[in-house]
Structure 1
Amino acid sequence: MKNQKLFSKIFLYTFMVMFFVTVIAHVCLYFLAPQMTLSTNSFLGGAIIESDINTGLLIKSAISKALPMSLLGCTIISLICSLIFSKAMSKPIKQISETTEKMEQMDKTARCTVDTNDEIGVLASNVNMLYSSLLSTIENLEEEKQKVSEAEKSKIDFLRAASHELKTPVTALNAILENMILGVGKYKDRDTCLLECKEITGQISFMIKEILDTSRLDFTQEKKNFESFDLSDSLPLICEPYQLIAKAKKLYFSLDIQEKCPIHTSKKNLEKILSNVLSNAVSYTNPGHRVTVVLTADQIEVRNECVPIPREKLHRVFEPFYRPDFARDRKDGGNGLGLYIVDTLSKALELSYKFEPMENQSGMCFTLFLS
């Protein structure tokens, strides 16, 4: 019985119970019916004993003749009823079993049919809920895995670029020191060369600090540090140091706050994004030209009049340590990490942006969408 299918088990159990009841009923009828007749006639008191005995024998004889046909008929009825009952009981369970096999194969369309509100219907509903929860968990894990994988790849690419970027000044410093030791040409003037070496070491130190700060960026930023604030209140403070730099470089810097801008995000990281964008805008704008910041309810624009970056190179400006051809010098073009930080933090905060040449004048426009 242990190895039989559920349908067979239900059928056998049901048929055996019904057949047992049928046999007991016929046995009782065979033995008790004549006795009940005798008792009834004796109770009425008007019949002869011999007649009573003959009546009992006749009843017993009639039952004996009808018993095989009656037993056969009841057995057939029991068989049919057992088949119907077994099929009705095993069908929904079989459907659940077939569906769970599909679920085991991770068929996302697999669902148990819920036709009733009884225990089997509740079981089917629970299986559906469990499978939906499992699919949701797997999907979330896959998303997290993808994010972690992308973060690891970004960090590896960043470290490779950092190593390459540090290689240049280190090689230059090493060459200067070797020539100083050998006393070749202009390198005999050690005082001048030491000042140049000190300047290079300062550049290396600054680059290492920037690289370490950038490497600490959380590519899988959690939302637990998010807070609600109005950007229109803090934007003047963010722009203030760059207004001073612009004034020193003889640039025109204008801030236009058109509307209130309530937002729920990481205030610290948003300020870092805007600081890097403003720093780039001021750095790449020539004297006598303009930097404009415009804030509305759902976006902020930073426009600067400069030599536009060709569209075919726009996708590269967000790579670490990339500087356009017209600003390859570190003194003019920065360290090439600003827009990389902007891109990384924008993705972490789930904020979209666009960076493109301005249409009506020569320059670039960075737009950060805040909703």
Structure 2
Amino acid sequence: MKIVKKNFLLTTSLIFIVVTVLLASLYFMMPFYYEQVKTAEARNEFEEILSQVEGKSTEDMLELLGDYSQKSNRLWFTLMDTNKKVFYPTVAEIDASDESLQLTISPNFTASIYKNKYLSETIKNKAGQTLLLQGEYSLQPISDASRILLKLYPMVLFFALTLGGLGAYLYSRTSSKRIKEISRSTRRMTSLEPQVICPVKGRDEIADLAQDINHLYENLLTSIEALRLENEKVAESEREKAEFLRMTSHELKTPITSMMGMIDGMIYGVGEFKDHDTYLHRCRTILEEQAELVQSILAISKLEMKLDEDEEDLSLKSLLKDNLSSYKILAEVKKYQFEVELEELEIKANKTYLLKAIKNLLDNAFHYTRQAGKIRLSLGKGQLVIENQAERLLDEQQIQQIFQPFYRPDYSRNRKDGGTGLGLFIVQQILEKHHFNYRFEAVDESWMRFTIFF
């Protein structure tokens, strides 16, 4: 059953029940209420007459009671003494009263349908004589009114249901209109259409429901977009892994093939390969280079773990001071000018991996600094700067490629100190996992500068 029909039937049923209960209450409660009202009126009127005749002479009392009888017949008073001697009404007044009653009372009513009640109070007249004042009043039957109400019940019920049904229908249509609009909007939301909102009208629970659906849909779209970006990120990560494995295979294949050729030449004594001492040393050198490459690859694989679990609050100044002694010695050996300026800086990071990234940067600075050149390490104002007077400055294209795995500038491929081409790639991975910004650039005409922003 649709909500419009439900609301209509429910509202109409409530109206029917309310009208029925109201009319039934009137039918059964009206006699009781009527009796209470008439009794209260008679009591008030009796008290008023009582206050007027109290302490008066007997003649004055009779005059006051006679005047009241001529003006109103709601109460019939009787005044007597303690010996039941009646002072009022007199015989003449009784005869006049009977004639009046014969003219006013309809002969169709019998005395049995009237209900008489009495009020009495003792009073004293002016002479101090104790008298009894008695008031009699009649409760006229209201059975006719109840019967009329019973006859009017079907008509009243019909009009009540007609008007109530019309109001219930209009209310049902109006109250369900907003729910239908919300339903149409939510059906559009199932297809994930953008810019779809449920209309928020009013300040009741239905408006709150529409607002909650809008928030839920907004959060859903945000989550879907986040998942899409995460999927793209995962796909890009998988692509990078595949590319890294391809380049790793290439980097390992060439030296291994070269070493196998030298070993075969030594085994079969071909030409110059008969000099085993020379070529065994060369094979060992190749193996050492490949071992270094494997260690770098293992270091990269460890970066796949979540570094957040091992992050800690640390003093970067203290960390650098404890690990710069070997670089100072190396600077003296290679005749470099190594300048260090450190200010206090507290950060939250993985101590081991951040130190490895900084050491990789210092290693590169020492490897590619010109003879007798300068190297500067400065920490302050929320950033770490490593500068060196380079043998050759990198251009913009080389700087963009320098963070790729196994990339080395052409001029450095045949250097005597070699290099795996993974140092800056590892630096990039560590800094990005820590969400630290960085910049690598050429400054002036001879300086290369790497800046880490904390």
Whether 2:348 is the aligned partner of 1:224: answer: no
Check the 8 A contact 1:34/1:60 in 2, yes or no. no
Which residue, 365, 372, 375 being the options, matches 1:291? 375
Which residue, 186, 190, 194 being the options, matches 2:280? 194
Give the corresponding residue for 2:8: 11
* One-letter amino acid of the structure 2 residue matched with residue 193 of structure 1: Y
For 2:308 and 2:397, the matched residues in 1 are separated by 34
Check the 8 A contact 2:189/2:217 in 1, yes or no. yes
Q: 1:179 deviation in Å?
A: 2.4
Whether 2:273 is the aligned partner of 1:276: answer: no
Give the corresponding residue for 1:184: 270
Q: Percent identity?
A: 32
Check the 8 A contact 2:317/2:344 in 1, yes or no. yes
For structure 2, the residue ranges without an aligned partner over 5 or more in a row are: 40-73, 75-100, 114-141
Question: What are the equivalent positions in structure 2 for 1:360-371 lying under 5 Å apart?
Answer: 360-370=444-454
For 2:18 and 2:252, the matched residues in 1 are separated by 94
Check the 8 A contact 1:230/1:262 in 2, yes or no. yes
Check the 8 A contact 1:155/1:215 in 2, yes or no. no
Deviations 1:15-68 (A, max 9, x none): 234246556777998x989999xx99xx99x86574599x9789968975x677
Deviations 1:287-322 (A, max 9, x none): 211111111121111111111011122111100111
Give the corresponding residue for 2:433: 348
For structure 1, the residue ranges without an aligned partner over 5 or more in a row are: none
For 1:248 and 1:262, the matched residues in 2 are separated by 32
Q: 1:229 deviation in Å?
A: 1.9
For 2:224 and 2:311, the matched residues in 1 are separated by 26
> Secondary structure of 1:319's partner?
coil
* One-letter amino acid of the structure 2 residue matched with residue 10 of structure 1: N
Whether 2:172 is the aligned partner of 1:86: answer: yes
Which residue, 296, 305, 323 being the options, matches 2:389? 305
Counterparts in 2 of 1:59 and 1:199: CA distance versus 1, 3 Å: closer
* One-letter amino acid of the structure 2 residue matched with residue 203 of structure 1: E
Deviations 1:349-368 (A, max 9, x none): 1011111111x331211111
Check the 8 A contact 1:34/1:57 in 2, yes or no. no
Q: 1:248 deviation in Å?
A: 1.6
Q: 1:163 deviation in Å?
A: 0.8
For 1:222 and 1:113, the matched residues in 2 are separated by 45
Q: Which one is further off, 100-109 or 171-180?
A: 100-109
Deviations 1:191-248 (A, max 9, x none): 3222222222222222222222222212x73423222222122222233222222222
Counterparts in 2 of 1:183 and 1:21: CA distance versus 1, 3 Å: same
> Secondary structure of 1:309's partner?
coil
Counterparts in 2 of 1:109 and 1:342: CA distance versus 1, 3 Å: farther
Check the 8 A contact 1:14/1:82 in 2, yes or no. yes
Give the corresponding residue for 2:419: 334
Counterparts in 2 of 1:110 and 1:223: CA distance versus 1, 3 Å: farther
* One-letter amino acid of the structure 2 residue matched with residue 9 of structure 1: K
Determine which structure has the larger helix proportion and give its number: 1
Determine which structure has the larger strand proportion and give its number: 2
Q: 1:159 deviation in Å?
A: 1.5
Which residue, 128, 153, 160 being the options, matches 2:239? 153
For 2:437 and 2:248, the matched residues in 1 are separated by 26
For 2:29 and 2:276, the matched residues in 1 are separated by 133
Q: 1:187 deviation in Å?
A: 1.3
Give the corresponding residue for 1:116: 203
> Secondary structure of 1:332's partner?
coil
For 2:145 and 2:271, the matched residues in 1 are separated by 144
Q: 1:339 deviation in Å?
A: 0.4
> Secondary structure of 1:271's partner?
helix
Q: 1:167 deviation in Å?
A: 0.9
Q: When the two structures are superposed, what TM-score results if normalisation uses the length of structure 1?
A: 0.81
> Secondary structure of 1:274's partner?
helix
For 1:63 and 1:114, the matched residues in 2 are separated by 46
* One-letter amino acid of the structure 1 residue matched with residue 270 of structure 2: V
Which residue, 62, 72, 77 being the options, matches 2:163? 77
Deviations 1:172-194 (A, max 9, x none): 01211232334332112223222
* One-letter amino acid of the structure 1 residue matched with residue 240 of structure 2: S
Counterparts in 2 of 1:5 and 1:330: CA distance versus 1, 3 Å: farther
For 1:5 and 1:18, the matched residues in 2 are separated by 20
For 1:9 and 1:49, the matched residues in 2 are separated by 57
Whether 2:349 is the aligned partner of 1:265: answer: yes
Q: When the two structures are superposed, what TM-score results if normalisation uses the length of structure 2?
A: 0.67
Q: 1:273 deviation in Å?
A: 1.3
For 2:321 and 2:28, the matched residues in 1 are separated by 107
Q: Which one is further off, 75-84 or 299-308?
A: 75-84
> Secondary structure of 2:314's partner?
strand
Check the 8 A contact 2:439/2:452 in 1, yes or no. yes
Check the 8 A contact 1:301/1:368 in 2, yes or no. yes
Which residue, 278, 282, 295 being the options, matches 1:209? 295
- Structure having the higher Rg: 2
> Secondary structure of 1:110's partner?
coil
Counterparts in 2 of 1:82 and 1:177: CA distance versus 1, 3 Å: same
> Secondary structure of 1:238's partner?
coil
Counterparts in 2 of 1:239 and 1:82: CA distance versus 1, 3 Å: same
For 1:340 and 1:346, the matched residues in 2 are separated by 10
Give the corresponding residue for 1:256: 341
Q: 1:132 deviation in Å?
A: 5.6
Whether 2:171 is the aligned partner of 1:174: answer: no
Check the 8 A contact 2:404/2:425 in 1, yes or no. yes
Check the 8 A contact 1:251/1:288 in 2, yes or no. yes
> Secondary structure of 1:18's partner?
helix
Q: 1:162 deviation in Å?
A: 0.8
Q: Which one is further off, 133-142 or 147-156?
A: 133-142
